[in-house]
Structure 1
Amino acid sequence: MWTPENRSKYDRSKLRYPSDLTDEEWLIVGPLIPGAKGGGNKRTIDVRAVLNGVMYILSTGCQWAALPKDLPPRSTVNDYLRRWDEDRTLDRIHHALYVLCREQAGREASPTAAIIDSQSVKSAEKGGATSTPRATTRARRSKARSGTSWSTPKAC
């Protein structure tokens, strides 16, 4: 519910971009990001800025080439995003935020019950998504034969 307290809590007008992490958000997510790899040079990139770049891409849906110049280079943001996906950092962040949201809502960290409707069960028994009608249909072929001839016979 939008109360004066909630409105000020979620106000993002003072951030550079609405997708940027607030200090409170960074305190939650920052510790979940792994440190630099051993060996080689020290990490010179600001990981918070990289995460802000990822959030910008996700929130705006813009192309990688349209990433603003005041964020890290798109290749850097993309490399970190791929690395975090591979080492399951994104899964850990998602789980931590999921647990936090449930606790803030006064619920247990993990659900204790699930609801399955009979339609879902029927669909799963028949093979899942393939048993549901497709949203798009294939284009219909003309009944008239094409004027193009095949130079090699078709194998049956």
Structure 2
Amino acid sequence: MARESYPTDLTDEEWAQVEHLLISHSRFGRKRKVDEREILNAILYVQWTGCAWRMLPHDLPIWSTVYYYYSRWDSDGTLNLVRSILGR
């Protein structure tokens, strides 16, 4: 069952603009169990609401996974690029 959207969620148009920055297509390794769009939605939720990572709503991915991607994308500059593209 799909979850109800939050005001901070990406629109389909916004996702189309940044998807290529976040999806890695590796020929090796196991298939990812997380949806990068949902990860970014959770990061945007934390940044907009100011909630603690551990207090993410239960219908978003688990906080530790979200924080892992946040740290990775923040340190390599991906989040800054996403913010500049989205204007958020």
TM-score category by the smaller chain?
Answer: 0.7 to 0.9
Partner of 1:22: 11
Shift of 1:17: 0.7
Query: 1: CA distance between counterparts of 2:86 and 2:17?
Result: 8
Identity, in percent, stands at 46
Please tell me the residue identity of whatever aligns with 1:78: Y
RMSD (CA atoms): 1.9
Equivalent in 16, 19, 30 of residue 41 of structure 1: 30
Q: Normalized against structure 1, the TM-score is what?
A: 0.48
The answer on whether the counterparts of 2:23 and 2:36 sit within 8 Å (CA) in structure 1 is no
| Higher normalized contact order (CA 8 Å, seq sep 6+, divided by chain length) | 2
**Does the 8 A contact of 1:20 with 1:55 survive in 2?**
yes
Task: Give 1:34 shift.
Answer: 4.2
* 1:4-153 to 2 correspondences below 5 Å: 16-35=5-24, 39-97=28-86
Q: Evaluate the alpha carbon distance shift between residue 87 and residue 45 of structure 1 in structure 2; reply closer, same or farther with a 3 A threshold.
A: same
Deviation at 1:66? 1.2
1:79 Cα offset (Å): 0.2
Q: For residues 66 and 36 of structure 1, what CA distance do their matches in structure 2 show?
A: 30
Contact 2:9–2:44 under 8 Å retained in 1: yes
Structure 1: unaligned runs, 5 residues or longer: 1-14, 99-156
TM-score (norm 2): 0.81
Q: Is the 8 A contact 1:19 1:56 kept in 2?
A: yes
Which whole-Å deviations, capped at 9, do the CAs of 1:45-68 have from their partners, x for residues lacking one?
A: 111000010011011101112100
Q: Give the gaps of 5 or more residues in structure 2.
A: none
Higher percent of residues as helix: 2
